[in-house]
Amino acid sequence: MLNVLRKTLQSPIISIQRLFNTSPILSTQKFDIKRIPLDDEGVQGEKIVDLDSVIKSKQNLFPTLESDDTLFDGIPYKSLPICNIRVTHNNTIITLTDAAGTVKLIKSCGIEGFKNTKKGTNIAAQTTAISLATKAIDRGFKTVRVKVRGLGPGRLASVKGLQMGGLEIVSVTDNTHVSWNPPRPRKARRL
Amino acid sequence: MLITARLLANRHPQFIARTVFVKNNNVDDACRMVNRIIGKEGILERFRLNQYYEKPFQTRRRINHERCKAIYNEDMERKIKFVLRKNRHEPFPGCH
């Protein structure tokens, strides 16, 4: 009995004493729909890229029906010279061909003077690309489309080198040969 | 239509797939985009797998491992989503 009395007495006193009510308001009483945050679309990191959004935002990045006949430097896309880059772990070979595929220029890291393991470095690839580009400009090639095949250290460097050498690159294509039902590959390396 | 005709005429048509145009002389971006595409489509993975012969027992082990990983990742993702969820109807659950 006493307890109950005390509680009833105390409760008004407490409410008077406490001018600041730090406890949160009951959410059911003051529920506002605006307090629900919007859908979080996430922060776009460096590694995580949503290709769909890129496709939506940037047009003319990928070839279409008309891209074959669009003019680049006065030449339609389909008759631009092609720069084929063959990248392996141990070497990088760059050839410049016309649109039909006949080879006009050929350079590799080995030709450039790098020997043995030095052939398979990005620096070798870049210098090779630069020297090929300068030679190509002498021959009268200005704008090219690039086809890259294979994986290796020279993959990015060689494309970069072509640009540094002064060639204008219209497009970059990956031409790595892949098959989902290939003939039996060579036996695995024993490490 | 035209594209199908082109595909029928040539078994390996060039400069259609895995091609990115360079914009504003920004070759790096284009290269990165190409790499991203071939990475996402699983072409790089295939290429790497086909470089050396993978014995059947290795294939089995790899696939089992991938399965386990996928299950674990799915559960973990759900868990993280649950812990980090922000859209609460009651903003302060259990605080009254």
Contact (CB, 8 A) for B22 and A169: yes
Distance CA A189, CA B53 (A): 9
Nearest CB neighbour to B95, from listed A24, A172, A186: A24
Distance CA A189, CA A171 (A): 36
Sort out which chain B residues have CB atoms less than 8 A from A176's CB and list them.
38, 43-44, 47
Q: Which two tokens stand for residue A188?
A: 């695995």
Contact (CB, 8 A) for B34 and B21: no
What per-residue confidence (pLDDT) applies to B14? 84
Is pLDDT of A47 > 50?
no
Nearest CB neighbour to B86, from listed A37, A160, A182: A37
Q: Residue B96: which of A25, A139, A123, A82 has the closest Cα?
A: A25
CB atoms A185 and B52 under 8 Å: yes
- Please give the average per-residue pLDDT across A83-109, as a whole number: 93
Interface membership of A171 toward B (CB under 8 Å) = yes
Q: 3-class DSSP state for residue A76?
A: strand
Is pLDDT of B31 > 50?
yes
- Please give the average per-residue pLDDT across B71-90, as a whole number: 87
Domain ranges of chain A: 66-174
Q: Residue A92: which of A188, A179, A142, A160 has the closest Cα?
A: A160
Looking only at the bridges linking them, the beta strands covering A92-97 and A82-87 are antiparallel
Is pLDDT of B56 > 60?
yes
User: Which ipTM score applies to this complex?
Assistant: 0.74
CB atoms A61 and B55 under 8 Å: no
Superfamily (CATH H level) for A66-174: Ribosomal protein S11/S14 (3.30.420.80)
Q: 3-class DSSP state for residue A114?
A: coil
Query: B4, B28, B31: best mutation site toward chain A, by most A Cβ within 10 Å?
Result: B31
Phi then psi dihedrals of residue A67, to 5 deg? -65, -20
Distance CA A154, CA A86 (A): 9
Looking only at the bridges linking them, the beta strands covering A143-149 and A168-174 are parallel
Task: Say which residue, B20 or A17, is predicted with more confidence.
Answer: B20
What per-residue confidence (pLDDT) applies to A42? 46
**pLDDT-derived band of residue B15, with 50, 70 and 90 as boundaries?**
confident
* Residue A99 exposed, middle or buried by CB count within 10 Å (0-12, 13-18, 19+): middle
Sort out which chain B residues have CB atoms less than 8 A from A163's CB and list them.
25, 27
Interface membership of A116 toward B (CB under 8 Å) = no
CA A187 to chain CA mean position, Å: 32
**pLDDT-derived band of residue A44, with 50, 70 and 90 as boundaries?**
very low
CB-CB neighbours of A114 under 10 Å: 20
Distance CA A168, CA B58 (A): 45
CB atoms B30 and A171 under 8 Å: yes
Tally the residues of chain A: 191
CA B24 to chain CA mean position, Å: 27
CB atoms A77 and B25 under 8 Å: no
What per-residue confidence (pLDDT) applies to A46? 47
CB atoms A170 and B89 under 8 Å: no
Q: Residue A189: which of B42, B61, B55, B64 has the closest Cα?
A: B55
- Please give the average per-residue pLDDT across A9-20, as a whole number: 54
Query: A70, A148, A173, A190: best mutation site toward chain B, by most B Cβ within 10 Å?
Result: A173
